[in-house]
Amino acid sequence: MGSLFGGKLSRVAEVTLLDPWEEHVAAMQRDGLHLTEIDGHEEVIPVTATTDPDAVPEVNLAIIFVKSHATRQASEWAARFLAADGLALTLQNGVGNVETMAEVLGEHRVVAGVTSHGATLLGPGRVRHAGRGPTYIAIRPKVAKGLAAVVDTFEQAGFEVHLSTDLDSLVWGKLIINVGINALTAILRVPNGQLVKIPAASELMAQVVDEAVAVCRAKGIELPYDDPLGRVREVARATATNRASMLQDVLRGAPTEIGVINEAIVREGERLGVETPVNRVIVTIIRAIEGSYPVRVS
């Protein structure tokens, strides 16, 4: 996702892609970013990329797209080059990233948002744009001027962007979608669209989403759509060929973000007295999959 957004933004602004994956950075430095669009068209975008945070010039906007377990590290890197009046924007999955970023960068410099875009990493220097949709950014008076410039730049790069005053609605609205898609694709090892084609998978989706919505209601959060399950299914269809981030993690034997997605629903359910048995089982299965990485039969 960082490569997708960074590549498209590089067409209209000065952008530096910072990534610790040396092979990915080397490929982009050598050959540019190879971006395959949704319609199959491939474009090579010249980008500036580095693995060294000290090589990044001072910036007015730092976009954090790392996995949740790397949010603190990314925030500490961003602190080295983010201007004093700059903004750090998270478009990550899950909950808790804003709080971690604020601890490092200061609450006044952190902005949260959600995006419906999907991307699949095909290999070093190669990314497929696997789903398109609006991006929402939470606005508050003190950062309104800075965000106006961000929105303008994003729109020039081809992203549909909207501002919202309800951060909880944005974050939990995206969380519900991730709850209904990510872990199930990782367990079943299928792209997003199969979840609405396989009847039993569709039923599991409905169950985990229903539990998550019950937690939202108990928290008093108004979701940004009237039909949560319908919205999840709509996103799954719109990103039908995409390999969700958690599926990509499982396929390469990497830590997942289950702790800030389905497990966040379980934790909040416990705190509020809302039963979440299906999400609890999903979390346990993903944890078991992670634990099986060293002994997995190929």
Residues involved in catalysis:
174
> Cα(25)–Cα(232) distance, rounded to whole angstroms?
33
187 CB neighbour count, 10 Å cutoff: 18
For residue 35, what are the contacts with CB-CB under 8 A and spacing of at least 6? 3, 4, 7, 8, 42, 43, 44, 45, 127, 128, 129
Structure tokens at 73: 């590290």
CA distances from 153 to 82, 141, 228, 282 (A): 18, 19, 30, 39
The token pair at 18 is 């910072």
List the strands of the sheet with 135-138, edge to edge: 59-64, 82-90, 110-115, 135-138, 161-164
